[in-house]
C-alpha cells in the first residue's frame, strides 16, 4: 500500500540558506501534519492542514512557512536556516473521519543538517 | 498549556516479561490517546489508540488503559520480544479537528535476551 512519501530523505544546507521539504500524503487522506524531531526528543508539532487549508499551528518559527497544494502534497519552506534547525522533519497524513485530530501515518522523514 | 508527562524515560525488561509505560495529561478536554512506537532512526508508527469513552483496549500483546478521572493512561506490553525494543511515545489530543497532538517525552524500552 502507498505510504506517506517525503523528499528529499537527506538534506545538507549552510547557515542562512533556504530549504524546501516535500510531502506526498497517502491518496485520499485529507489532513497533513508536519513535525520536527531533534535528537533524542519527542516530535514537536509545527503545522497542519485540512483540505488544503491551514488547520493548526504549533511552535513553527516565522522563518518557516508551509502550504498544501491542489494535489494535496505539502511543502515546508525554511529560510535563513540556523544550526538549531538541524533535525528530522516528519510529515504525516490521516483521513480526518477515521483518525480525527491524529497523525496516523508518518513518512520516513527528511534529515536536515545545517552546517 | 497542555502537557503530557510520560514515565519512565528508560525501561529495561527481561524477554518474556511485561512492560508498563504510564502517562498523565493535563488537558481535561483530551479525548483521544494514541501510542506510537519509534525504532531508532525510523518514523513513529501508531500502534494502538484509545478513546475517552473506553477504559481499556487490547490488541494481541498490547493493551492500553485509561482513567479519565485521574487523567492517566498506560501502555502494557506482555510477553515482550526483542523486536519490542524501541522508543514509545504516548500522546493526547482532542479529536475534534486536525489539531496538534501533544506527545509525551518518550520511553526507551530495551528487551534483555
For B63-80, what is each residue's pLDDT tens digit? 999 999 999 999 999 999
| A56 chain-B contacts, CB cut-off 8 A | 97-100
pLDDT confidence of A68, banded at 50, 70, 90? very high
Question: At residue B97, does pLDDT exceed 60?
Answer: no
Question: At residue B16, does pLDDT exceed 70?
Answer: yes
Question: At residue B98, does pLDDT exceed 50?
Answer: no
Q: Residue B27 contacts by C-beta under 8 Å, 6 or more apart in sequence? A: B2, B3, B92, B94, B102
Give, as one character, the DSSP assignment of residue B62. E
Average pLDDT over residues A43-60: 88
Question: At residue A101, does pLDDT exceed 70?
Answer: no
| B46 chain-A contacts, CB cut-off 8 A | 99, 102, 104-105
Question: At residue B96, does pLDDT exceed 60?
Answer: no
pLDDT (tens digit, 9 = 90+) per residue, B39-64? 877 788 889 999 888 899 999 999 99
For chain B, give the mean pLDDT.
90
C-alpha cell at A58: 504549533
Asked if A65 and A71 touch (Cβ cutoff 8 Å), the reply is no
For chain A, give the mean pLDDT.
91
Average pLDDT over residues A21-43: 91
CA B10 to chain A, closest CA, distance in angstroms equals: 12
pLDDT at A59: 82
Residue of B43, B45, B46, B97 to mutate for A, most A C-beta atoms under 10 A: B43
pLDDT at A45: 87
Residues above pLDDT 90, as percent of chain A:
64
pLDDT at B99: 59
Check CB contact of A104 with chain B, cutoff 8 Å: yes
pLDDT at B95: 63
C-alpha cell at B62: 498490547
How many whole angstroms separate alpha carbon A57 and alpha carbon A55? Answer: 7
Amino acid at each position: 500500500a502507498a505510504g506517506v512519501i517525503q523528499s528529499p530523505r537527506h538534506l545538507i544546507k549552510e547557515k542562512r540558506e533556504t530549504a524546501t521539504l516535500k510531502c506526498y500524503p497517502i491518496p485520499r487522506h485529507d489532513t497533513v501534519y508536519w513535525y520536527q524531531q531533534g535528537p533524542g526528543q519527542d516530535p514537536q508539532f509545527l503545522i497542519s492542514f485540512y483540505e488544503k487549508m491551514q488547520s493548526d499551528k504549533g511552535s513553527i518559527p516565522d522563518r518557516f512557512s508551509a502550504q498544501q497544494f491542489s494535489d494535496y502534497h505539502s511543502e515546508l519552506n525554511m529560510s535563513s536556516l540556523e544550526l538549531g534547525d538541524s533535525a528530522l522533519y516528519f510529515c504525516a497524513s490521516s483521513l480526518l473521519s477515521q483518525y480525527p485530530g491524529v497523525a496516523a501515518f508518518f513518512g520516513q522523514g527528511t534529515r536536515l543538517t545545517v552546517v | 498549556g497542555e502537557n503530557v508527562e510520560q514515565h519512565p524515560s528508560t525501561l529495561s525488561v527481561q524477554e518474556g516479561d511485561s512492560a508498563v509505560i504510564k502517562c498523565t495529561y493535563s488537558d481535561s478536554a483530551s479525548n483521544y490517546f494514541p501510542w506510537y512506537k519509534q525504532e531508532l532512526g525510523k518514523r513513529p508508527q501508531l500502534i494502538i489508540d484509545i478513546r475517552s469513552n473506553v477504559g481499556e483496549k487490547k490488541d494481541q500483546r498490547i493493551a492500553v488503559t485509561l482513567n479519565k478521572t485521574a487523567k492517566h493512561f498506560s501502555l502494557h506490553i506482555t510477553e515482550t520480544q526483542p523486536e519490542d525494543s524501541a522508543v514509545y511515545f504516548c500522546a493526547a489530543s482532542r479529536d475534534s479537528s486536525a489539531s496538534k497532538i501533544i506527545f509525551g517525552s518518550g520511553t526507551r524500552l530495551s528487551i534483555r535476551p
